[in-house]
Amino acid sequence: MESSPSSEFVVQFWGVRGSIPSPGKETIRYGGNTSCVEMRIADKRLIFDGGTGIRMLGKHLKPQLPVEAYWFFTHYHWDHIQGVPFFDPAFIEGNLLHIHGAAPDGVSMQQHFKERVLHLNSPVPKR
């Protein structure tokens, strides 16, 4: 008997705030993390942006490792990338992240993240 592909379509908002994270009792209903949206469409996982909300997504994914995801960066303002160093699945061997976006200033995505996100002043050591 063949199994049919999943028809699941789920959207999870892990971060919705702009500019700076704003946790507190005032933001409980909508959350206080910056931009991160996850979509699960059938057997595909799409991630949009890497604000502080991506840290919680990473914690959620840990029991499901290894994971494959398509990660899209809409742009590179700090509130859309500041969670990247805290997204554990990005630093665990065996996961597959297809990263998409247009790196600013004509540099490669790898160079952009190395120099501007995972740089020497990052609070998280390079892994």
Alpha carbon distance 21, 31 (integer Å)? 9
The pTM is what? Answer: 0.85
Distances (CA, A) of 33 to 66, 91, 118: 25, 21, 20
> Token pair of 7, please?
């028809």
For the chain, what is the total number of helices (H) and then of strands (E)? 3, 5
Q: Tell me: the pLDDT tens digits for 92-105?
A: 999 999 999 887 77
Q: CATH assignment of 9-117?
A: 3.60.15.10
d(CA 49, CA 52): 10
Separation between Cα atoms, residue 117 and residue 124, nearest integer Å: 10
Condensed to tens digits (0 to 9), the pLDDT of residues 59-84 reads 999 999 999 999 999 988 889 988 99
